[in-house]
Structure 1
């Protein structure tokens, strides 16, 4: 099901999201978030963007080029961030038609739970790293607008 995407300045976008303790309680939210993200069309979507202030996001950084590589991250945490930085123009589904140049670490390592509740760990670089960081920002109430003056 396609969900409505919350738009800035809705206060849910600035909330610190709560951890997920029961993955099964998410029900169909994960599938609905993927449907919504692909329909939008975006590369990532965090739960607060659909009005749910929990530490969950979905992403797929390759689907626009043809191959789908969907990722679900529940309660993600950074393990490391590279000192090397990248600068990209980022858009946000909750801030329509307002891309912002953002500087972020080029490579990151993250630990999270997947949709089955299994612990996962992975390294990301380039656009995938930027996407993970963008979505993790949403879980902490941070928006690309907060980077406008610093990038």
Structure 2
């Protein structure tokens, strides 16, 4: 479909609670393809619909280098999360050249619809649990900076 512009910190779409997807129709399938096309052009592992200015509860996660194994989450819900947490660095495609330390559960169980409308249960740990949390926060209008205990500006170091 199309590579979309990733909206940046300060854009109103990033602070809105996204709408539940009622039907997986051509509009939603087009949105999913746009998320795939857009994530394929940047160095990131996840993209939520609000980041391309669409406030629908749709997320794409793909941690492969060649974007060959996309996970689509439609209307995701956390079923359980570990009490055990870990603090690690996070960045965001909507707040480039920054990262922060964020505390997240080390494991969780999430239910979501896939792009065929089938309910799938995901049990994720460590890095994937962090990615799921980060992207699901976007659907609630929450940015990782709001949860970070420390923030850093990343600078290019010329050799």
TM-score by length of 2: 0.89
Spell out structure 1 runs of 4+ moving beyond 6 A.
none
How far apart in 1 are the matches of 2:59 and 2:149? 26
Q: Which runs of 5+ in 1 are unaligned?
A: none
How far apart in 2 are the matches of 1:60 and 1:67? 6
Q: Which has the larger radius of gyration?
A: 2
1:60–1:146 Cα change, 3 Å: same
TM-score by length of 1: 0.93
Q: Which runs of 5+ in 2 are unaligned?
A: 152-159
1:42 to partner: Cα distance = 0.9
CA contact (8 A) 2:17 2:139 kept: yes
CA contact (8 A) 2:9 2:95 kept: yes
- Asked if 1:123 corresponds to 2:141, the answer is no
How far apart in 2 are the matches of 1:100 and 1:119? 33
RMSD between superposed Cα atoms in Å: 1.5
Q: Where do residues 58-73 of structure 1 align in structure 2 (5 Å cutoff)?
A: 58-61=60-63, 63-64=64-65, 68-73=68-73
Question: For 1:30-56, what per-residue CA distance to the aligned partner results, in whole angstroms no more than 9, with x for missing partners?
Answer: 111011112112100000000000111
Aligned residues: 149
Q: Where do residues 73-92 of structure 1 align in structure 2 (5 Å cutoff)?
A: 73-92=73-92
- Asked if 1:38 corresponds to 2:40, the answer is yes
